[in-house]
A and B are shown apart, each in its own frame.
Chain A
Amino acid sequence: NAGVTQTPKFQVLKTGQSMTLQCAQDMNHEYMSWYRQDPGMGLRLIHYSVGAGITDQGEVPNGYNVSRSTTEDFPLRLLSAAPSQTSVYFCASSPGGGGNYGYTFGSGTRLTVV
């Protein structure tokens, strides 16, 4: 089992560029979520999905889009990158939402916007 696979591991973008962070899981988990981790701030929820075709905003959704066309994949799109989006991004999945199940995290994507 690969678990949760995130790509790329590192990325440098110029301000205004767009890109997609990929997240895939092979555990048939219904719940998937994206977080950003900034120094001194802890992890913050960007967007989440409770199943294919269903997404919702988290605490810090501005500047990001998501879609969930399949159970396995949950890509995160940066529409027009800004230096404030420099962060480490984690994708996680869980059998269900509500915090009632354990979470499996991807290895993270370190994004720098210059």
Chain B
Amino acid sequence: KNEVEQSPQNLTAQEGEFITINCSYSVGISALHWLQQHPGGGIVSLFMLSSGKKKHGRLIATINIQEKHSSLHITASHPRDSAVYICAAPGNQFYFGTGTSLTVIP
């Protein structure tokens, strides 16, 4: 059983589409993290959130602590958004989802 489950595993979208990536976790956490891994392999931290919603540019992350569920939304998707998006739940360990590979086609 994985402590962090992401869906979908793979996602292809047309430029301009609204995208949603879901994350469910089973561990108790203080904050959930969303990471972005570029095709070159580098990982950057996008969001850390413990409640409600956070927005950065076209990216929006939401979390429902009671339901242990988080979503990452991308509005007006662009080919440069193509990457792997990873959610991570820190507990006694730091558990990662296997990632959602997003491809945005022009």
Chain A interface (Cβ within 8 Å of chain B)?
33, 35, 40-45, 48, 58-59, 88, 90, 92, 98-105, 107-108, 110
Which of under 10, 10 to 19, 20 to 34, or 35 or more describes the interface residues of B? 20 to 34
Instruction: State the total of A-B contacts with C-beta under 8 angstroms.
Output: 58
A98-B90 in contact (CB<8A): yes
The reply to whether the CB of B21 lies closer than 8 angstroms to some CB of chain A is no
- In the complex, what distance in Å separates the CA atom of A33 from the CA atom of B95? 13
Q: Which residues of A contact B94 (CB under 8 A)?
A: 33, 45, 48, 58, 99
Q: Name A107's contact: one of B42, B98, B99 (CB within 8 Å).
A: B42
B93-A59 in contact (CB<8A): yes
Task: With both chains docked as a complex, state the minimum distance between the C-beta of A17 and any C-beta of chain B, in angstroms.
Answer: 24
Task: With both chains docked as a complex, state the minimum distance between the C-beta of B85 and any C-beta of chain A, in angstroms.
Answer: 12
